[in-house]
Structure 1
Amino acid sequence: MLDINRRKFLIAGAGVGAAGLLTGVVGITLPDLLDAARDRPLPVGSGILVIVTLYGGNDGINTVIPYTNDAYHEARPDLAYAPDEVLPLDGQFALNPAFAGLAGSWRSRQLAIVRGVGYPNPDRSHFRSMDIWQTASPKDPVPTGWIGRWLDAGGDDPLRAVNVGAVLPLLAVGEKQVASALSDSIPRIPDGIASTLSALSEDDPHDTPAMSAVRRSYRASKVTEPEFGRVVKGIDPTAASQSADEDSLESQLDLVARCVKAAVPTRVYMVSLGGFDTHADERGTQEDLLKKVDQALTPFLRQMRTNSLGKKLVVMVYSEFGRRVAANASQGTDHGSAGPVLLAGAPVKGGFYGDEPSLTDLNDGDLKITTDFRDIYHELLTHTLESDPVPSIGPGRRDIGFLRPDGT
């Protein structure tokens, strides 16, 4: 098990929608993971899940496009894609032109599209909706995520789940365990966050023992953080922050690929890309973002298909909600509800799953939800992570069928 000590301490915010929740987590670097791979490599045949979060609410209608549907063109006269601009999947639906690589995965039957995904009583708030997706608790707010609860149920190895980046999303936070935070370089804590941590670190007479321990961790971070870069890689912590490319989805997945191929004993990796809140001038913005997704995922999936440890790897791509059917006056779209979830990899049985929501029978201008997102989690937990799904998402869920029965 990876040695945990105060010189390996990182501050991790609990992500979009978990305002106010901060926790100390295990900060690791690639050399740490490679050492673990040598000591206790992941057995060949182990399922691996890569979760790609698209923050901002990706427009699913212009991602998986109903290009022959008149209602689509009528609702979006200037935002809709013409039939000769898209990548057809069949006679009704097509992929956004930015998804040239993923179109190849569709043709090889290794891309599944689950349609109309969401949760009961949709909420158009980014924060609340992302909380729901990451906690798998649509009804009541809870402080733990579905992967965090999976960690709680499976032991105390901090490497079973790894978030690429120093800031943990809520989905990675359990009651007893949290995912590790992987950074190729360790950036300085921004001034705004540092001042918040200073305020949170002050003792309060009403604190529980657990809260007192968290506050002591905050105080420790003010000592350890300036030295952390020197300890890990000899990086000058006063230097300018690293280039944006080091935080790109492509770079994040490159780190994941290196870990998988080295047999790092990690079953869940979490990566992300933001910027999908496209209220204005959507077409160009979304297409650029989707191209980043495609250019990151396509070579990653290609590497996994040819690697013995990547043959049971599944990628899930989701966003907190879709967008409304009709375009707004700014050539964008506003917050909606249902949207598609993409699943890719060798174990995936390609095709469409779930009923396609109607573009005319709407719920206050939004697509009606036809697939509960927890059913996707159920199948991934059961077959990819080979675990009981109930501790993570509760009872009463079912498989959808997008994974091959033999897992390959």
Structure 2
Amino acid sequence: MPASPVRPATPGVTPDVTCADAGCAGFTASRRRVLGGLALGGLTTITGSTVVTMSGAPALAAEADDDSVLVVLSLRGASDGLSLVVPHGDPAYYAARPRIAVPSDRLVAKDGFFGLHPSFTPLLPMWEARELAAVHATGLPVANRSHFAAMEELEDAAPGSPERSGWLNRLLGESGESRAVEGVAVGGGAAPTSLFGEEPILSYPTLAGATLAGDKPSDSRRTRRTALERMWASDGSRMGRAVQGAMSAIEDLRVGAAQANNAASYPRSDLGSALATVAQTLRGDLGTRLVTVDHGSWDMHSNLGTLAGGRLVGMADTLAASLAAFFDDLGSVRDRVTVVTISEFGRRVAENANLGLDHGWGNAMLVAGAGVSGGRYHGRWPGLQNTTDADLTVTTDYRSVLAEIVAARFPGASLPQVFPGFTRERVGVMTGQ
């Protein structure tokens, strides 16, 4: 089966326009209320460090009863699933990694074949409570060792399809509603491909930093906002409604910012800060349902290291401690939240001369929180080979994991719409699936 090509830009289609100074896009929303009116198609406004991307689709009037939340945590740079979820029962693992293999006697949550990296000790209570599971040998159906091409293919999740949107944006379109901050990318930089599409999304590094472009914290008169209100308040056009909506969206974020930010209880890292903001957003009860967070870089061609030091142990420590703090911070909304980790591909089985690992294929995914069939390792193990160019073979298409989560947590969504042309296989990582 040939690899699915990365789709080039569509000829004649103008990329999204950034119009921060014009305040030209937004959406009408207020706390726990639905959108009103139309948003502008194809325009993006950057409101301070916040991005509001709008579609031309009309707002829908119904609010779903299901308040499930999915957080997609991307381990950018291609994490090594064989180090995080160790197949200690496969002798080829230790033969292929004489210097960097994780010792069997140091593993946690260990069964007769698999065990978790010891950095995951903070997550053991969730494992023992059956709120955390791992799925091994997952990934793209055909190996793709280009970071950028693999990330795009992974986040589109529609190889061979004419769809030019990300799978999370398509899931937003299946929700039957358009609520305030329903789809959110938290962290620095642009929103990921998975959220790109017609449905409105927000992107911000912190709730407290969300502001209209041109607003100055020192300006108590809020000159920028006042000018926009005078110009557009009585304008019933699409542009007028969009500008009014952008201002309303900022007010919603301020409601969320009134929640305590417990970042001090997280590791001091970009991931800790981002997950603290996600928890703050969810406790603000704004209607957020889909969230993306990036954590990287996991691209460790050299100095991946051992338990005594190196790059991986520090990254794994941060990942596990941040996730543990996040679930503790969720409070009363914890039973609504499911987290899944994803990475563009895995690493080779055999270590290289630089105490690192080169680009591979199969990987492991972690699934935690609500609805998870936890305390178990899922997937079909293909066996490892101790050769220079050996990969962990993918036996579970990553979309089967995502589709099972969607089916369990968003049962009203159409899987053929979210994952066009794909028929999922049962994984068993979610209860009732």
Give the TM-score taking structure 2 as reference length: 0.68
**Counterpart contact for 2:64–2:177, Cα < 8 Å:** no
Seen in structure 2, the aligned counterparts of structure 1 residues 27 and 183 have a Cα distance that, compared at 3 Å, is farther
Q: Distance in 1 between matches of 2:43 and 2:359?
A: 30
Give the Cα–Cα distance (whole angstroms) in 2 for the partners of residues 288 and 138 of structure 1: 34
Counterparts of 1:313-352 in structure 2, within 5 Å, are 313-350=337-374, 351-352=376-377
Q: Residue 56 of structure 2 corresponds to which residue in structure 1?
A: none
Q: How far apart are 1:302 and its partner, in Å?
A: 2.6
**Corresponding residue of 1:257:** 279
**Is 2:92 the counterpart of 1:71?**
yes
Query: Is the CA contact 1:25–1:181 (under 8 Å) kept in the aligned structure 2?
Result: no
- Alignment of 1:277 with 2:299, yes or no, is yes
Residue 95 of structure 1, CA deviation: 0.9
Against the structure 1 CA distance between its residues 179 and 28, is the aligned structure 2 distance closer, same or farther, given a 3 Å change threshold? farther
Secondary structure, in 3 states, of the residue corresponding to 1:279? coil
Aligned to 2:194: 171
Counterpart residue type for residue 415 of structure 2: P
Residue 12 of structure 2 aligns with which residue?
none
Q: Taking structure 1 as reference, are residues 333 and 398 closer, same or farther at Cα in structure 2, changes over 3 Å only?
A: same
Q: 2:324 aligns with which of 284, 287, 298?
A: 298
Alignment-derived partner of residue 383 in structure 1? 408
Paired with 2:416 and 2:284, the residues of 1 have a C-alpha distance of 31
Counterparts of 1:43 and 1:260 in 2: how far apart (Å)? 16
Gaps of 5+ in 1: 11-21, 33-39, 190-223, 233-244
Aligned equivalent of 1:160: 182
1:55-100 per-position Cα deviation (integer Å, ceiling 9, x unaligned): 0000010110122432111100001122233224212211112111
Number of the residue aligned with 2:106: 85
Task: Give 1:171 deviation, angstroms.
Answer: 0.4
Residue number in structure 2 paired with 1:7 = 23
Q: CA–CA distance in 1 between the matches of 2:147 and 2:380?
A: 25
Letter in 2 for 1:95: L
Q: TM-score, normalised by structure 1?
A: 0.72
Q: Structure 2 residue aligned with 1:393, among 419, 423, 432? A: 419
8 A Cα contact 1:116 1:338, kept in partner: yes
**Aligned amino acid, residue 69 of structure 2:** I
Aligned counterparts of 2:112 and 2:432: Cα–Cα separation in 1: 28
Say if 1:363 and 1:268 are closer, same or farther in 2 by CA, change over 3 A: farther
The letter of the residue matching 2:195 is: A
Q: Secondary structure at 1:61's aligned position in 2? A: helix
CA 1:389–1:104 in 2, change beyond 3 Å: closer, same or farther?
same
CA displacement at 1:5 relative to structure 2: 9.8
Residue correspondences, number = 332
**Alpha-carbon contact 1:148-1:171 (below 8 Å) kept:** yes
Q: Which one-letter code corresponds to 1:7 in the other structure?
A: G
Q: Percent identity?
A: 29
In structure 1, the residue matched to 2:237 is: none
Partner of 2:229: none
Matched letter for residue 179 of structure 1 = I
Residue in structure 1 matched with residue 394 of structure 2 by the alignment: 369
DSSP 3-state at the match of 1:289: helix
5+ residue gaps, structure 2, are 1-19, 27-41, 53-60, 214-245, 255-266
What does residue 52 of structure 1 align with? Answer: 73
Structure 1's 341 and 28: CA in aligned 2 closer, same or farther, altered over 3 A? farther
- Residue 357 (structure 1) shift: 2.7
State the partner residue of 2:384: 359
